[in-house]
Amino acid sequence: MTALQAIAGTSLGSIIVALVVPFLVVAFGTYVGALMALQSFFGESSWQDVSTDHEE
């Protein structure tokens, strides 16, 4: 049995898994979306590159 199955086996554990897993998926998707926006709009790979290019 994996650790996730052991944690989700309890009622409290299943509630925690049901809340944490979607949150992590949304957070990761937001991060990837922001990186894709950086690359498509600015042609850069980090916010630091964008901010230093516009200050000069």
Interatomic CA distance for residues 41 and 18, integer angstroms: 35
- The answer to whether residue 5 is domain-embedded is no
Question: What tens digit of pLDDT does each residue of 39-48 get?
Answer: 888 776 676 7
Higher pLDDT, 51 or 26: 26
Mean pLDDT computed over 43-55? 66
Interatomic CA distance for residues 4 and 27, integer angstroms: 20
- The answer to whether residue 23 is domain-embedded is yes
- The answer to whether residue 14 is domain-embedded is no
**Domain range holding 48?**
19-56
- Asked whether the beta carbons of 33 and 23 are under 8 A apart, the reply is no
* Predicted pLDDT of residue 22: 94
The backbone torsions φ and ψ at residue 40, rounded to the nearest 5 degrees and listed phi first, read -80, -40
Number of structural domains (the chain) is 1
- The answer to whether residue 28 is domain-embedded is yes
